[in-house]
Structure 1
Amino acid sequence: MLAFLSTGLAACFWLQSCAKAPSVANQSSDKLQGKLVLTGSSTVAPLASEIAKRYETQHPGVRIDVQSGGSSRGVADARQGVADIGMVSRSLKDNEKDLQAFTIAKDGISVIVNKNNPVKSLSDKQIVDIYNDKINNWEQVGGKDAPITVVNKAEGRSTLELFASHFKLETKNIKADVVIGDNEQGIKTVAGNPNAVGYVSIGSGEYAATHNTPIKLLPVEGVEASIANVSKGTFPISRPLNLVTKTTPTGLSKNFIDFASSQSVQDIVKEQYFVPVTK
């Protein structure tokens, strides 16, 4: 009888404990701890940084280090395990399909000139000829008599790759006067030089142009360069903004990628002048 009571009490105690213990699925996600390193695209980096700030606020035990350096760095670092997550502002190439890609927003690429430049548009051929140094004075395309300062992106930048691909430019034939890294450098260079021409993320360019930076975005193939047209799918040069991993993400990496791809951050995506991804 005592043995029965002892067993019964133990069973009761065990059942009560189980009833009180929360399942793993129901445990508060603020228990997440650790550090993530993201490297790569300078277009994605500011967006990822803002998303990371919100994520860290919700998960105080997590720290996220975001570093730029170009999409090529994002691919290489993710492959080599130097970064937990790479940032790539384009679709993965055929020889990069060993990686996993997760789109968090969409963007376009726009040609920019100084706000005081009277030129309102350039044809595809004119852009090609400018970057190949066949046209080197603004007067040749309806502007003032002034030499054109050609601003180009550094190798390894996906913006350069997409720009060259769209205009069928051989990067080795581009004659640049100034070589820049991130979008901010390109915008500052064109804003400070009335004779400069460059190309940047539409998101970065539109934000700058609407926040008193003296640049303007030129249309491509007659389509206004705007986030609205990227959203509609009518702008000719658009691209996905991706987070990439070496293998299928798990744990903290998966949790952050899921968060960065969710509706919880669409306000941040819009504030950064990118197009949210609807799922």
Structure 2
Amino acid sequence: MRCLRQLVWITIVTLVLAGLSATAIATSHKLVLTGSSTIAPLAVELGRRFESLHPSVRVDVQTGGSSRGISDTRKSIADIGMVSRAMKSDEQDLPAFTIALDGVGIIVHASNPVTNLTRQQITDIYTGKITNWQEVGGKDARITVVNKAEGRSTLELFLSHFELKNSAIKPHIVIGDNQQGVKTVAGNPHAIGYVSIGAAEYAAQHSVPIKLLPLDGVAASVASVRNGTYPLSRPLNLVTRKTPRELAKQFIEFARTEQAHDLVEAQYFVPISID
């Protein structure tokens, strides 16, 4: 009887250890990406295809803004950070890998008769000097100003381009990701916002009632970003802490190959050609 009990316990311990080992293996085959909401939808699609090529791998994508991507990568909370802007001087410790190009565009409701705004008019709208669409050739209606939350790279790029401080902005609504921005403007005929050109063009092509306005006389479009004429373009980066570990390295290399170009273009971004 004692021998039988010992055999049972040995079997249980063996199974537990095997389970722990399997858990460790599973954990080592999981990739966590956090950060930019602009990159996140593309990262999800990249993750699905990467998982299909590597069945034992699981890719977890979480948003929260480019600042989160930087912070989580530095703290090793994320394997890869998603950053939808150029890297800053104090971020050079993190290797960055560009996977696509995008732009930031001004959006209004599709029914808005305004088709163009000057740089000064945009500045005046966002700082509260212009409050009615009639002042810029539109209908007699109060302008609803939609701004981005702190920590979002889209906000940083907008402020930099228009030489503004966030404290000078007079918003009525503050949103986080691009989808919130698109939905907010689509649901309010008198709203104005700024979002990823890729996200806006994708939405407009799928019958969401918004339209992109030209910036500095250049059409806000994927084509303008591709040919380099759009004035507010940006790189979409994946960043890692020091040299990426093997699984993260494989994912980044995959994301930058022609094998992923169709996924990039499906999100209305411009693929990067790697020699």
SS, match of residue 199 in structure 1: strand
Match of 1:110 in 2: 105
Match of 1:158 in 2: 153
Counterparts of residues 76-155 of structure 1 (less than 5 Å):
76-155=71-150
1:152, CA displacement in angstroms?
Answer: 0.4
Match of 2:19 in 1: none
Q: Distance in 2 between matches of 1:164 and 1:186?
A: 16
Work out whether 1:194 is the aligned partner of 2:189.
yes
Counterparts of residues 1-279 of structure 1 (less than 5 Å):
34-279=29-274
Contact 2:199 2:268 in 1 (8 A): yes
Amino acid at match of 2:111: N
1:199, CA displacement in angstroms?
Answer: 0.4
The unaligned stretches of length 5 or more in structure 2 are: 1-27
Amino acid at match of 2:263: I
Contact 2:95 2:239 in 1 (8 A): yes
Q: Distance in 2 between matches of 1:251 and 1:116?
A: 50
TM-score between both structures, scaled by the size of structure 1:
0.88
- Residues 138-194 of structure 1 show CA distances to partners (whole Å, capped at 9, x for unaligned) of 011011111000000000000000011001111111110000001000000000000
Q: Distance in 2 between matches of 1:58 and 1:35?
A: 14
Q: Give the aligned length.
A: 249
Give runs of ≥4 in structure 1 deviating > 2 Å: none
1:250, CA displacement in angstroms?
Answer: 2.6
Amino acid at match of 1:101: A
Return the index of the structure with the highest Cα Rg. 1
Q: Distance in 2 between matches of 1:250 and 1:95?
A: 23
Q: Distance in 2 between matches of 1:234 and 1:132?
A: 27
Q: Distance in 2 between matches of 1:264 and 1:116?
A: 39
Amino acid at match of 1:114: H
Q: Distance in 2 between matches of 1:250 and 1:36?
A: 10
Percent identity reads 64
Bigger mean CA deviation after superposition, 232-241 or 243-252: 243-252
TM-score between both structures, scaled by the size of structure 2:
0.89
Q: Distance in 2 between matches of 1:55 and 1:155?
A: 32
Contact 2:31 2:248 in 1 (8 A): yes
Q: Distance in 2 between matches of 1:259 and 1:186?
A: 30
Contact 2:84 2:236 in 1 (8 A): yes
Amino acid at match of 2:91: E
1:210, CA displacement in angstroms?
Answer: 1.1
